[in-house]
Amino acid sequence: MSQFGKVAVLMGGDSTEREVSLMSGAGVLQALLSKGVDAHAFDPAERDLSDLKREGFARCFIALHGRLGEGGAVQGALELLGIPYTGSGVMASSIAMDKVMTKRIWISEGIPTPRYALLRQGAFDRRQVIEVPDTLGLPVIVKPAHEGSSFGVTKVVGYSGMAGAVESAGQLDSDILCEQCIEGDEVTCPVLGSGDSAQALPVIRIVAPDGNYDYQNKYFTDTTQYLVPAGLPAGEEEAIQALVLKAYRVLDCRGWGRVDVMIDGKTRQPYLLEINTSPGMTGHSLVPKSALAAGISYEDLCVSLLAHAALDVGATK
């Protein structure tokens, strides 16, 4: 493991997902140490990133979540420092963090994603809010356009719920995404690798209490079921994996990622919701569960991801 040099596990940060990131980072750090990697915790909320260069870190494992960790800013700083990092590059990270921009690209490439409406703070009135269900139907999902871990997400079942849902999402983001609600099976599919060599891992079907896969049920309860094998009808898993790989590649993602998908219960049409370029690595997280089903241990997954740390510019300074 000496080939990796001194490794920083970036965790914590200043985003709304700080708590989850600290859990992810702690798991990754322990896994790398168990494999003999010279790994160290590094919290960008408490230290300046320039310390990475000054202290001789050779590469970074990004276990940060949220806008200030996986949205391209940290990746850009590491590019300037010349320190290879795990996961997607600056542009892919930035696009993937923006759910609306991701949708626009996917739609242009013929990739199915739920219909949507975008509300920008200060550019809409009460009438436009009430009209959203007229366009998308009910129920409708209202969420911040740049958040993860289900922060600020509301399922609106009646017109009277729209104003409160928009207000809740607006407290976290100036861009509010209103999305057609696809009701059926909720699944997710991780991807490892880059370009033509990227491979989809087994699909996981998520069965949450009352169908509510919120922040609490994602990270802090043991009642959510994660089914792998997913138990989908014949051919569906392979079709979803192919679709996810296309979605991953058109955004030029690299290293790893995870795409969340809803399957319409009536038509069995899969709809891609979003892509996560710095997936969780907690005890409840999905990429490690899927990797394990493919015969890859948590520790080996962490080492493999670290081994593929890279720079957009292709060379260190």
3-state secondary structure of 28: helix
Cβ 226 vs Cβ 286: under 8 Å: yes
pLDDT surpasses 60 at 298: yes
The pLDDT tens digits for 186-200 are: 999 999 999 999 999
pLDDT of residue 316: 42
pLDDT of residue 31: 98
Give the number of residues written for the chain.
317
pLDDT of residue 221: 66
**Residue the block writes with tokens 């949507």:** 116
pLDDT of residue 281: 97
CATH tag for 95-112+182-304 (out of 3.30.70.1060, 3.30.950.10, 3.30.470.20, 3.30.230.70): 3.30.470.20
Cis peptide upstream of residue 112 (ω within 30 degrees of 0): no
The pLDDT tens digits for 130-170 are: 999 999 999 999 999 998 767 889 999 999 999 999 999 99
CATH tag for 116-180 (out of 3.40.50.970, 3.30.1490.20, 1.20.1250.20, 3.20.20.70): 3.30.1490.20
pLDDT surpasses 80 at 222: no
Query: CA 314, CA 268: separation in Å to the nearest integer?
Result: 42
Q: Which of 6-10, 73-77, 159-163, 206-210 has the lowest mean pLDDT?
A: 206-210
**Residue the block writes with tokens 């192919």:** 242
Query: CA 303, CA 7: separation in Å to the nearest integer?
Result: 11
Q: What is the CATH number of domain 2-86?
A: 3.40.50.20
pLDDT of residue 183: 95
pLDDT of residue 212: 66
**Catalytic (active-site) positions:** 17, 149, 219, 258, 260, 274, 276, 280
pLDDT of residue 317: 39
213 vs 79, residue with greater confidence: 79
Query: CA 208, CA 218: separation in Å to the nearest integer?
Result: 9
| Local confidence band at 229 (pLDDT 50, 70, 90 cut-offs) | very high
Task: Look over the chain and give the mean of its residue pLDDT values, rounded to a whole number.
Answer: 93
- pTM exceeding 0.95: no
Hey, where are the domains in the chain?
2-86, 95-112+182-304, 116-180
Query: CA 58, CA 198: separation in Å to the nearest integer?
Result: 25
The pLDDT tens digits for 11-70 are: 999 988 899 999 999 999 999 999 999 999 999 999 999 999 999 999 999 999 988 899
Cβ 94 vs Cβ 252: under 8 Å: no
| Local confidence band at 271 (pLDDT 50, 70, 90 cut-offs) | very high
pLDDT of residue 128: 92
Give the relative orientation of helices 298-307 and 18-34 as an angle to the nearest 10 degrees: 90
pLDDT of residue 122: 83
The pLDDT tens digits for 63-90 are: 999 888 999 999 999 999 999 999 999 9
What average pLDDT does this structure show over 89-106?
Answer: 97
pLDDT of residue 214: 58
pLDDT of residue 145: 93
Phi/psi at 200 (nearest 5 deg)? -85, 135
